[in-house]
Structures are given as structure tokens and as C-alpha cells.
Chains A and B, each alone.
Chain A
Amino acid sequence: MEAALVIKAVGALGVLGLVASGVLAIASRRFWVEVDPRVEQILSLLPGSNCGACGNPSCFATAELIAQGEAAPSACIAGGQETADAIADLVGAERCEVAALVVARACGGGTQAQRAFEYRGVPSCTAASRLAGGPLACQWGCLGYGDCVRACPFGALRLDDRGLPVVDLARCTGCGVCVQTCPRGGTKLLWLVPEGSYVVVRCSAHSKPKDRKAACARCCIACKKCERVCPSDAIHVVDGVAVVAYGSCTACGACVDACPQQCIDLYGRGRGVDAMAADGAGPAVGPRSSSMPGTDEPAEAS
């Protein structure tokens, strides 16, 4: 009796399995879909980091779209001009200019910023921001636990001794993964700027300038000095914080020198300034780079 049951059970499952595998085997032949051989070639030209900056979930999806002609050969943001040209040659499209972006950090607080409480949880910005909005008194500031550094697929970010992520412009591709990872990315703590942009404002706070000043020594205080000194009318205080219009900025650096809070920095590629030194410390040459406050403080997170 029991032996018969075992045989029946094995038989039933075996029949089901055979039928299922048979159907699948036939289906895989019948429903075979031709794959465009160019997809593989395009994929090999793409960076392959699946950063998602183009809006597609993977480089493969982008390669498929490019092969079908649904996406432009310049669809890959991280790849930049070189990749776009190579793909354009491959699919026989016209070469086109790519507007390259780099990421910029809009906060100069770091370990200098006031803490509302001491956070002793998981050393991650996302975790810290979930707990009552994070330990910073400023709701806009950089938490400094380096989620962006870990997320960067190109190794272009590192935390410096001020507890702030510093962008290596030579490596940054403008993919925007760090912006998506940053819990403050929605309020533009990290954001993408044109690679030729020449100054960045190191503050993204929109609270009252007085409250802000109490929370952080390095914030924009909306004094409008930059607005007055700018010869090309390219910087304005909008909604309580200075904003640069990159279309008209000429990189004269007047606002950088005028800012009493030292929260405007020279930035961008091809400026003749060392990108790492330029980030957050003002121009590489000049009095401010040496008098940067907080450089002697230990980094807040590893």
C-alpha cells in the first residue's frame, strides 16, 4: 500500500515535471525572440556600472533602447562625449554634443554644524535622517556619514577631514547616483550642475537666515553681497539662499571673494584650479584655503 503510494507520488510529480519541461522546451523554440546583435556591442561601449542616471534600470536596457532607436546614442549620461560618439558611429547616427554634468555639494557645514542631539545609531546618512530628521540642527545640511561615497559607482567621492563629501571632478561622470542616495538629495544638498559651472553655493538651507546662522557657521545668510558684486547679474538670493544662474556666470570669482561666510566656491572642470582643493576650500591659491576652519577636527564618520 505504502509502496504503491510512493510510486504514485513519484509518478504524478514526474509526469507534471515532464509535461512542464516539455511545454517550456517547445515554448522556448516557438517563442524565440531575435535579439539585435548591436545590443551586445552597444553594451560593451557603455560604462556598465548600471548607475541608472539615464532613467533606465540597467545599461542593458539602455543598450536595447539605443539599438531600437528609441533612445539617442547620447542617452548614457555617465559615458559622456566619448561613449556617445562611439555609439553614434556604431549605429550610424550623427554625432552630437553632450551636455556633461558633475555633482556639486551645497553644504559647507560638516563637523562645524551644530548638532541638535548626539546620534549613535547606524553610521549611515539614511538611517540618521530617519531619526527625527537627523542629528544636525540644520534640516538641510550634510549629515556626513558618507552614503554618497559608498554609492558612487566611479569612486569619485571621499569624505574629507571636515566630514563633508568631496568630489573628484576628474572621476565624476554626473550619473547622479549620489544624488538619489543622499537623503537630502531632494532638497539639493547634492545636485548636478553643468561641468563648466564656475562657482557653487555651499548652502541649500531655506530656513530663516537667523535660525540658520545659529545652526551653522558656514551657511548662506542671504546678505545679497554676492548679488551686488556680480558684474554679470548671475547670482541672486532666491527663497533665502544664493542661487547661481550658470548660463550667465563668467567665473570672475567676485562673489567668492565677497561672501562673508565663505560659502561660495570656485568649481567645475577646466578652471586651472585643482579640483580636490577647490572643493569646499575656495580657490586653491589664496588666503582662505589655509584658514579653512575645522581642518584639524577628525572626520566624523569613516
Chain B
Amino acid sequence: MTAAAQLALLFVGAALVNNILLTRFIGLCPFFGVSSSMSTSIGMSLAVVFVMTLASGATWMAWKFILSPLGVGEFLYIPAFILIIAALVQFVEMYLKKASPVLYRAMGIYLPLITTNCAVLATATESAKPGFFKMNIALGSSLGLGEALVYTVGVSVGFGFALLTFAALRERLEAAPVPEALKGAPIAFITAGLLSFAYVGFAGWFGL
């Protein structure tokens, strides 16, 4: 397999087969919290792609150049990564406010929301020190920076894809003749369960 094919496989594996929301069930709070309308989901998805990719790059470097060489990574990675992600989000927020008010307004309230999001931490951890989560794709014992970024973009695109699918379904459900007892949260949970079934169906694609 060529390197490019391997990267493509990594991307698909991260986005669909091991979808962070619907097959690994990480980051479910925004999945239910912001999915009631399409516009909030788009803002959230954009912010997640943005922050996750940056955070993953930063934690990868912190692991490679600070934590791993010192031999303290095994027990220090969670506080260190949280620190990095929080500082990074703050920085990005300041930068966006100055450089691109339009983008800032689109992502605005979602950026601080993501600071302590478990999906971001999980993905940043995973790309820095693979093997923490059981997945269908074997990430090997360590990823290169390129691979880590491709993996993270895959995960965040998968996050956005699942969130937007779910938001579209929920918007339709608003108008659908749902039985009275199931209106609101119950039907959302049922929908999420069915959607999760659909994503489990991706397992086995491309031999993943």
C-alpha cells in the first residue's frame, strides 16, 4: 500500500468506521446539546474541526519534545494536554477576534465550549500516544505529525458529519407526527441509537 492510500484509509477509518460520536460514544454532550438546529451544528462542527486539528498538532509536539523524552508523559499527559488545549483555545479566540471577526462570530460561543470537551482531549491524546482506545484501525505505537493531523481531521470531520446528520434528522422530527409520549428528548435518543446502528455498519469497509 502506498503512503497516500494508507493516509486515505486512516482518514476514512477515523471519520466513519471509528466515528467518535456514534461508534466510540465520546463527546455525546454537544451531540445532544447543539443538535437541535442545523445552524448551531454547523458552527459547532467548524469549531471542532479547527480546534481539534490545532490541539492535536500541539499535543503531538508536547509529547514528542517534552513529555516523552523526560519520561513523565505516562502520568502527566492529561493535565499537560488539558493545559495545552485550554491555552490554545484562548489564544485562537483572541486571534480570531482580531483577525477575522466574521469567523469569530460564527464560532464565537462554541470555542470556549470546546476547551474542556472530551472528544478534543481524546483525539489529541490518541494522536500523541496512540493505543489508548480500542479501534478498528491500528494506529501503531506512534504516529508521525502528518499522520496525526490526517487522523485528527478525519475524526473531526466524522464528528461534524454525524452531528449534521443528527441535526438534520432532528429538524425533520420537529414537524413529524411523533407519538406524544416520545416528543422531544425520547425520540432524539431513539434516533441517535438508530443512527449509531447505521454507523456500526461501516465496520468492515476497506478491510477496516
- A residues contacting B by CB (< 8 A) are 5, 8-9, 11-13, 15-17, 20-21, 23-24, 27-28, 30-33, 130-133
- Tell me which residues across on chain B come within 8 A of A130, comparing CB atoms: 183-184
* Minimum Cβ distance to chain B for residue A22 (Å): 10
Q: How far is the CA of A17 from the CA of B81 in the complex (A)?
A: 11
Across-interface contacts of A24 in B (CB, < 8 A): 87, 90-91, 94
Q: Are B87 and A13 in contact, with the CB atoms below 8 A?
A: no
The answer, among A12, A20, A30, A32, for a CB contact under 8 Å with B87, is: A20
Give the residues in chain B near A30, CB-CB below 8 Å.
98
Minimal beta-carbon separation of B206 from chain A (angstroms): 38
CB contact between B95 and one of A20, A27, A132 (< 8 Å): that residue: A27
The answer to whether B181 touches A27, judged by C-beta atoms less than 8 angstroms apart, is no
Interface stretch (choices B65-73, B115-123, B137-145, B189-197): B65-73
Instruction: Name the A residues within 8 Å of B91 (CB-CB).
Output: 23-24, 27
In the bound complex, what is the Cα–Cα distance between A130 and B71 (angstroms)? Answer: 55
Q: Across the interface, do B75 and A9 meet the contact criterion of CB distance under 8 Å?
A: yes
- B interface majority secondary structure: helix
Residues of chain A with a CB closer than 8 A to B80's CB: 12-13, 16
A9 engages B95 (CB within 8 Å): no
- The total number of A-B Cβ pairs within 8 Å is 59
Question: Mind listing 8 A-B residue pairs with CB under 8 Å?
Answer: A8-B72, A9-B72, A12-B67, A13-B79, A13-B80, A16-B62, A16-B84, A33-B97
Q: Which 3 A-B pairs have the closest CB atoms?
A: A20-B87, A31-B98, A133-B180
Q: For residue A20, which residue of chain B has the nearest CB?
A: B87
Interface residues on B, range: 20 to 34
A69 to B135, CA, bound (A): 52
C-alpha spacing A33/B83, complex, angstroms: 25
CB–CB A33/B70 < 8 A: no
Smallest Cβ-Cβ distance to B184: which chain A residue: A130
Residues of B that sit less than 8 Å from A by CB: 62, 66-67, 70-72, 75-76, 79-80, 83-84, 86-87, 90-91, 94-95, 97-99, 180-181, 183-184
Residue on A nearest B70 in the bound complex, by CB: A8
Contact B66 A20 (CB under 8 A): no
A165 to B172 CA separation, bound complex (whole angstroms): 32
In the assembled complex, the CB of A243 is this many whole angstroms from the nearest CB of chain B, namely 23
* Residues on A with beta carbons closer than 8 Å to the beta carbon of B98: 30-33
Known: A8-B72, A27-B91, A31-B95. A16 touches B66 (CB 8 A): yes
Q: CB-CB < 8 A to B181: which residues of A? A: 131-132
Q: Which residues of A contact B86 (CB under 8 A)?
A: 20
A242 CB to closest chain B CB (Å) equals 27
| Besides A17-B83, A24-B91, A32-B98, 5 other A-B contacts (C-beta < 8 A) | A13-B76, A15-B66, A16-B62, A23-B87, A132-B180
B198 to chain A, nearest CB (A): 27
When distances are taken between beta carbons in the complex, the residues of chain B under 8 Å from A31 are 94-95, 97-99
Report whether A12 and B83 are in contact in the complex, using a CB–CB cutoff of 8 Å: no
Most chain A CB within a 10 A radius of its CB, from B87, B90, B95: B87
- Determine the chain A residues whose CB is within 8 A of the CB of B66 once the complex forms: 12, 15-16
Q: How far is the CB of B26 from chain A (nearest CB, A)?
A: 24
A27 partner residues in chain B, CB cutoff 8 A: 90-91, 94-95
8 Å CB contact of B71 from A5, A15, A133: A5
In the complex, A13→B97 CA distance in Å? 28
Query: Given A17-B83, A20-B84, A20-B87, does the pair A12, B94 have CB atoms closer than 8 Å?
Result: no
Q: Which of B62, B70, B90, B98 has the most CB of A within 10 A?
A: B70
Q: Which residues does chain A contribute within 8 Å of B67, judged by CB atoms?
A: 12
User: In the assembly, what is the distance between CA of A147 and CA of B133, in Å?
Assistant: 45
Closest residue on chain A to residue B86 by CB atoms = A20
Q: Which single residue of chain B is at the shortest CB-CB distance from A131?
A: B181
